[in-house]
């Protein structure tokens, strides 16, 4: 049998050198992979909290954005749900409206979002308004939100609530985003619903506009909404424009009452909203 053995001095060194070359190549590949593969960005998360107002404990949820998306001092959003999400389970208010949008964009959404929940049969007035504001303040303090960039938004009954809270505390907010909301009682709705802060005014739309004209607003509505009809938003927007207010209006011609999915999926909305900043001394 022919022999393929190398001399002892060579044969002993060859495997070691070969292994060293393989090890060096493997290490280089590993380092290259580390240098070119981006780190996975952790998504934002929902957390449960509670606040005591008027002697009662009220639970709410907060969407805490990832640091990579939001930075050290993120803008803050206060979201007011509609009639169907009322309850005490501290879950319904994140299942419709802005909550699903956040779950879909949990990695990239750059703001802190506060989700209070009002009990059955209530509106965003009185105690429930104070609960929402207390939850907002507690969240800003705990999670480092930017108190000068607070966006107030809500849908349906929560859209009315946007105007209610802004009339109560106009200096707290940098921008308003009412979605399928209104000012006066919708004729087709059996439940009581109006903005109490201007309900007794001869012209509630004009009164609301006079109180809110210096706050940037972007309103949304469905053109086929038969629950809160679009004339509610149209009248308010017209009143604001007549006063020189900073207002935008988007009406989705083919949509009914659910205009919130389309509204919150409007990319320009968030760019605009987070560019607004509270200005002192305007009111």
Please tell me the pTM assigned to this model.
0.85
The sheet with strand 175-179 has its strands ordered as: 45-53, 56-64, 112-116, 76-80, 150-155, 175-179, 217-222, 247-252
Per-residue confidence (pLDDT) for residue 281, from 0 to 100: 44
Per-residue confidence (pLDDT) for residue 3, from 0 to 100: 41
Q: Each residue of 51-102: pLDDT tens digit?
A: 999 999 999 999 999 999 988 899 999 999 999 999 999 999 999 999 999 9
Sign of CA dihedral 252, 256, 262, 263: positive
- What distance in Å separates the CA atoms of residue 213 and residue 205, rounded to the nearest whole number? 11
Sign of CA dihedral 158, 160, 166, 168: negative
Per-residue confidence (pLDDT) for residue 31, from 0 to 100: 47
Per-residue confidence (pLDDT) for residue 99, from 0 to 100: 98
Per-residue confidence (pLDDT) for residue 106, from 0 to 100: 97
- What distance in Å separates the CA atoms of residue 232 and residue 207, rounded to the nearest whole number? 14
- What distance in Å separates the CA atoms of residue 173 and residue 283, rounded to the nearest whole number? 12
Torsion, Cα 117 47 172 242, to 10 degrees, reads -60
* CA-based nearest residue to 212, from 172, 174, 240, 234: 240
For the chain, give the mean pLDDT.
89
Mean pLDDT in residue range 94-119 = 98
Per-residue confidence (pLDDT) for residue 42, from 0 to 100: 81
Residue 8 above 50 pLDDT? Answer: no
Percent of the chain clearing pLDDT 70 (strictly above): 84
Q: How does residue 265 score in pLDDT terms, banded at 50, 70 and 90? A: very high
Q: Each residue of 180-207: pLDDT tens digit?
A: 999 999 998 999 999 999 999 999 999 9
Q: Each residue of 10-59: pLDDT tens digit?
A: 444 445 554 455 454 455 444 444 443 445 668 999 999 999 999 999 99
The backbone torsions φ and ψ at residue 62, rounded to the nearest 5 degrees and listed phi first, read -135, 130
Per-residue confidence (pLDDT) for residue 280, from 0 to 100: 60
Q: How does residue 5 score in pLDDT terms, banded at 50, 70 and 90? A: very low
Q: How many CB atoms lie within 10 A of CB 277?
A: 13
Which residue carries 């008027």 as its tokens?
54
Q: Each residue of 206-239: pLDDT tens digit?
A: 999 999 999 999 999 999 999 999 999 999 999 9
Its CATH architecture, for the domain 45-275, is: 3-Layer(aba) Sandwich (3.40)
């Amino acid at each position: 049998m022919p022999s393929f053995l190398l001399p002892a001095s060579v044969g002993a060194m060859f495997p070691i050198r070969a292994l060293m070359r393989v090890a060096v190549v493997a290490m280089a590949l590993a380092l290259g992979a580390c240098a070119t593969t981006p780190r996975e960005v952790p998504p934002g998360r929902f957390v449960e909290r509670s606040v005591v107002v008027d002697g009662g404990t009220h639970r709410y949820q907060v969407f805490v954005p990832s640091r990579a998306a939001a930075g050290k001092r993120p803008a803050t959003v206060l979201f007011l749900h509609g009639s169907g999400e009322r309850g005490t389970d501290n879950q319904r208010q994140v299942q419709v409206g802005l909550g699903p949008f956040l779950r879909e964009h949990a990695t990239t959404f750059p703001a802190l979002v506060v989700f209070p929940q009002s009990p059955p049969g209530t509106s965003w007035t009185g105690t429930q308004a104070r609960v929402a504001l207390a939850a907002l303040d507690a969240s800003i303090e705990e999670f480092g939100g930017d108190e000068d960039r607070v966006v107030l938004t809500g849908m349906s009954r929560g859209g009315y609530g946007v105007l209610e809270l802004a009339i109560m505390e106009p200096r707290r907010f940098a921008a308003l985003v009412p979605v399928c909301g209104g000012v006066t009682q919708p004729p087709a709705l059996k439940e009581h619903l109006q903005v109490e802060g201007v309900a007794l005014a001869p012209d509630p739309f004009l009164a609301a506009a006079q109180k809110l004209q210096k706050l940037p607003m972007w309103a949304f509505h469905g053109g086929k909404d038969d629950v809160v009809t679009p004339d509610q938003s149209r009248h308010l927007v017209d009143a604001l424009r007549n006063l020189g207010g900073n207002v935008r209006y988007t009406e989705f011609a083919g949509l009914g009452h659910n205009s919130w999915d389309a509204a919150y999926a409007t990319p320009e909305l968030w760019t605009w909203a987070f560019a607004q900043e509270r200005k002192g001394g305007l009111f």
